[in-house]
């Protein structure tokens, strides 16, 4: 992006500060999207400040930036939307979590996705815990009824563990199923 | 007995805010139907023809979204200043979408007029 040069140092500082805020606000986006948004806003500021009106450079610039809006407010929907697109394309959990955070206002759908992600994390943790504490982790039955699926420090008499090392395979399978469901739900919400 | 009836300003403002959000895409498409515009020029055109007081910066995310949907297209055109302009045009799909939206808009207006009579 070609920087606009102002003759007034105060105007230059205001301009640089504004675009530093824009850059910070969109730093979460892929480089190409960042460049596109920066160029768009820069073009707007250039056209608005060079439309032939006379007056103090600082006043003109402040007025233009005021009408453009605070970057944090103005760009939030764009950042959230682009992050959803990126997450939908890449399936990368990091991008999905960032998109969730940015779209938390989008309501219950994303809340459910968040809960399912927590479940996926919990299942992943159980697979590790099974290695560390195999005797306390698994699918436990007591008198033919489900006692616990997961980790328990309490091992009363008559407790039977059903799965053994298959427990790890089951939790990994559950992680896969929930991950698939989440991605499906995510794509449905994206289409809205 | 007389009652003094006062307009609920807050309710009207909230309603207008919703209307603005809902119609901005339509307004952009109607303007772009005539010719291509670059970003700043398009923003000014919207402001000239409507009383919508929106932060100008919010229009760019909306334009990007319309582009992602395949409704509009954009191209950067280099300028002597070294700062290019981004020109927006309607795509074929955008024209078809706009025609459909116009039909919906007219039907809605007709329905409201009918109710009001």
Structural domain includes residue B7: no
Structural domain includes residue B51: yes
Which stretches of A91-165 are DSSP H helices?
93-102, 108-132
Structural domain includes residue B15: no
Please name which of B75, B71, B73, B62 lies closest in space to residue B99, comparing C-alpha atoms.
B71
Residue A41 Ramachandran class (φ > 0 left, ψ -120 to 50 alpha, else beta):
alpha
Please name which of A116, A127, A133 lies closest in space to residue A186, comparing C-alpha atoms.
A116
Q: Print the domain residue range for B104.
A: 20-116
In chain A, which residues touch B (CB < 8 A)? Answer: 2, 4, 36-37, 39-44, 46-48, 50, 67-71, 73-75, 77-78, 81-82, 85
- Between CA B89 and CA A37 the distance in angstroms is 18
- Average of per-residue pLDDT across A170-189: 86
How would you class B33 by CB atoms within 10 Å of its CB: exposed for 0-12, middle for 13-18, buried for 19 or more? middle
The three-state secondary structure class of B73 is: strand
Please name which of A127, A86, A93 lies closest in space to residue A113, comparing C-alpha atoms.
A93
Structural domain includes residue B77: yes
Contact B57 A46 (CB under 8 A): no
Condensed to tens digits (0 to 9), the pLDDT of residues A74-128 reads 887 777 777 777 777 777 777 777 776 666 655 667 778 888 888 999 999 999 9
**How many structural domains comprise chain B?**
1
Ranking A14-23, A146-155, A169-178 by mean pLDDT, the lowest is: A146-155
Condensed to tens digits (0 to 9), the pLDDT of residues B11-52 reads 888 888 788 878 999 999 999 999 999 999 999 998 888 876
Min Cα distance B96 → chain A (Å) is 20
Helices A166-191 and A76-90, axial angle in degrees (round to 10) = 130
What are the sequence ranges of the domains in chain A? Answer: 9-74, 85-191
**Cβ-nearest to A69 among B58, B84, B86:** B58
Give the Cα-Cα-Cα angle B26, B63, B20 (nearest 5 degrees): 40
For residue B97, CA distances in Å to A10, B55, B102 come to: 46, 26, 9
Give the CATH number, domain containing residue B105. Answer: 1.10.10.10
- Between CA B21 and CA A191 the distance in angstroms is 19
Structural domain includes residue B35: yes
Structural domain includes residue B94: yes
Has residue B78 got a pLDDT over 70? yes
């Amino acid at each position: 992006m070609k920087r606009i040069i102002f003759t007034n140092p105060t105007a230059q500082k205001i301009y640089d500060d504004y675009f530093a805020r824009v850059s910070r606000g969109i730093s979460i986006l892929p480089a190409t999207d960042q460049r596109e948004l920066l160029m768009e806003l820069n073009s707007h500021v250039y056209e608005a400040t060079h439309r032939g009106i006379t007056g103090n450079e600082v006043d003109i610039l402040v007025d233009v930036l005021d009408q453009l809006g605070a970057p944090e407010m103005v760009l939030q929907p764009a950042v959230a939307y682009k992050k959803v697109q990126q997450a939908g394309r890449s399936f990368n959990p990091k991008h999905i979590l960032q998109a969730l955070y940015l779209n938390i206002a989008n309501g219950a759908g994303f809340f459910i996705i968040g809960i399912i992600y927590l479940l996926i994390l919990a299942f992943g943790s159980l697979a590790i815990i099974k290695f560390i504490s195999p005797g306390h982790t698994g699918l436990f039955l007591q008198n033919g009824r489900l006692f616990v699926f997961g980790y328990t420090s309490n091992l009363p008499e008559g407790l039977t563990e059903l799965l053994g090392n298959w427990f790890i395979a089951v939790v990994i399978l559950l992680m896969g199923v929930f991950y698939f469901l989440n991605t499906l739900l995510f794509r449905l919400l994206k289409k809205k | 007995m007389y009652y003094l009836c006062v307009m609920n300003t807050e309710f009207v403002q909230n309603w207008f805010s919703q209307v603005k959000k809902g119609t901005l895409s339509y307004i952009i498409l109607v303007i772009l139907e005539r010719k291509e515009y670059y970003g700043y020029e398009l923003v000014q055109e919207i402001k000239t023809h409507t009383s919508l007081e929106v932060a100008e910066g919010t229009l760019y995310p909306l334009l990007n979204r319309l582009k992602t949907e395949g409704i509009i297209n954009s191209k950067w055109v280099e300028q002597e200043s070294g700062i290019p302009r981004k020109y927006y045009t309607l795509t074929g799909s955008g024209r078809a979408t706009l025609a459909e939206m116009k039909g919906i808009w007219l039907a809605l207006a007709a329905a409201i007029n009918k109710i009001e009579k």
